[in-house]
Amino acid sequence: MAIPSLQSEKDYSRIEQATQERLAMRNTAIEERVRQQQSSASRETKQTKQVRLWAYAGPLMVAGFKDFLDVAVIGMIPGLSAVLAFCCSFLIFLLFLIKDDLTVRPKSVFLFQAGGALVFSTGVEGFLSLLNVLPVGLGVIMGIYFREKRYALSMMVPGKAKK
């Protein structure tokens, strides 16, 4: 009885070639993914470094509509005006929640500060019904915009101390 050879003489060159091709394809895909992530990160950085008034168009329209209703239609009806102020402030907060280019700050910090300003203005306008004739909603949204714009500009100026 003959003992067969422990080493077979099969040709594995095609398997090795396929393995090398697969590794090359995988490395190419990884490099492409890294390039895409770097380019999208640079685009996101450029987009979030600017605060534009256009991003505040939705909240400004809602606040303007609420102030128009306060002056023209609802007037001095305290209960209805307070409910309208609450509903519009909630809608404005939701618009702030879904927009991404409103600020250069972290989103949670912006939402906390803007939400606090909205709650305060809604409370003041709800309890002091004489303020319904003033455009408080537009003033608050414009105040939030100018605060964020000033902060964004201070972040862009090199050498300016952070407060």
Give Dmax (Cα) for the chain.
112
pLDDT interval class at 80 (50, 70, 90): confident
Q: How far is CA 137 from the centre of its chain?
A: 21
Whole-angstrom distance, CA of residue 151 vs CA of residue 144: 11
**Which whole number is the average pLDDT over 19-25?**
90
**CB half-sphere exposure, 15, CA atoms < 13 A:** 3
**Which whole number is the average pLDDT over 111-134?**
87
Q: What pTM does this model have?
A: 0.64
User: What's the pLDDT at 33?
Assistant: 87
Give yes or no for residue 41 having a pLDDT over 80.
no
pLDDT interval class at 47 (50, 70, 90): very low
Whole-angstrom distance, CA of residue 36 vs CA of residue 117: 39
Of 121, 156, 162, the closest CA to residue 142 belongs to: 121
Helices 136-156 and 107-127: crossing angle in degrees, nearest 10, is 160
Give yes or no for residue 37 having a pLDDT over 90.
no
